[in-house]
Structure 1
Amino acid sequence: MQIIEQYSTPFYKNIIDLPPSMVRKLWKKDQVLILDIRTPQEYIEHHIPGSLLIPMDYLEILQEYFSDREVAVVCEHGNRARYATYGMPHIYKRKAIYMIGGMAGWMSMGYEVESGMDENGTKWEEWLEKKLS
């Protein structure tokens, strides 16, 4: 049996698809920033500790705040994250990782999750306010 640990397309060389287990390894080594693109309500319900919330609608406007790091893009089931990585690849200057299965996949593996709003969940509002003023 062949096990595929990562997938990348020849069209977007800076984007790779990884399962939650591989993303978690990179995250534990502080090699990747987990970019949560869900809504604030979803983030409050559950999120990966230390993940940065920037709702999908504001990714392009706030790209300067994460484009200098390698990011793993996460949503609830993977649909929005796939669109954000493959549909908006111009916003990533470095490597972007699409986490297969999203938060549902992460939680099904029994990995770390937190509830509630924290500093990383509100930064995007401050940045947006700065940009608009």
Structure 2
Amino acid sequence: MKTEEVGASILETWTADEVAEAFSRDEIVLIDVRTPQEYMFEHIEGALLMPMAFFKASKLPGQTDKRIVFHCGSGARSEKVARAAIDAGTARIAHMEGGFGAWKGTHKPYIGTNMATGAPQLVN
């Protein structure tokens, strides 16, 4: 994990492997900031959806039980959202480097769309 001091806050950049390990141990809440359409087509199973267009940093829950890690398609939107959370007073926040593309690139499972039926399906 890479860390960057932003004023009095810390921005963490996690790899897909780090996110997968922490997510499997239920140590983090993974928040997808892509559009609803992107999420419906394919997403990480169990990730929550909070599209960047509707993001309100002041509405984020505290992180006493689980850490929050944002992700998007490439890492650009999730970094912007993480920085917005810092601007709103969050002391420590994280995002996934490379986004969903990195997740898929490391061959981690996700929910995709079966193009023949339109139904969701697990992709390994």
Q: TM-score, normalised by structure 2?
A: 0.78
Q: Give the one of 62, 69, 75 matched to 1:68.
A: 62
How many residues align? The count is 111
> CA separation in 2, counterparts of 1:54 and 1:84?
10
Alpha carbon RMSD of aligned pairs, Å? 2.3
Give the alignment partner of residue 114 of structure 1, picking from 103, 107, 111: 111
Could you list the structure 1 runs, at least 4 aligned residues long, displaced by more than 6 angstroms after superposition. Answer: none
Indicate how the Cα distance of structure 1 residues 105 and 17 shifts in structure 2: closer, same or farther if over 3 A, else same.
Answer: same
Tell me, yes or no, if structure 1 residue 90 matches structure 2 residue 87: yes
Unaligned runs of 5+ in 2: 114-118
Residue 77 (structure 1) shift: 0.8
The equivalent of 2:5 in structure 1 is: 10
1:63-106 Cα offsets, whole Å, 9 max, x none, are: 53x42232110000111111111244234636321100000000
How far, CA to CA, are the matches of 1:114 and 1:89 in structure 2? Answer: 30
How far 1:9 moved relative to its partner? 1.2
Q: TM-score, normalised by structure 1?
A: 0.73
- Sequence identity, in percent? 21
Distance 2:86 2:96 in 1: 15
**Which structure shows the higher strand fraction?**
2
Bigger Cα displacement from structure 2, 109-118 vs 15-24? 109-118
Letter in 2 for 1:53: L
1:122 aligned partner: none
Q: Contact 1:67/1:94 (CA < 8 Å) preserved in 2?
A: no
Which one has the bigger helix percentage?
1
SS of residue matched to 1:115: strand
Query: How many angstroms apart in 2 are the aligned matches of 1:111 and 1:77?
Result: 15
Q: Which runs of 5+ in 1 are unaligned?
A: 1-5, 119-133
Structure 1: how far apart are the matches of 2:73 and 2:106?
14
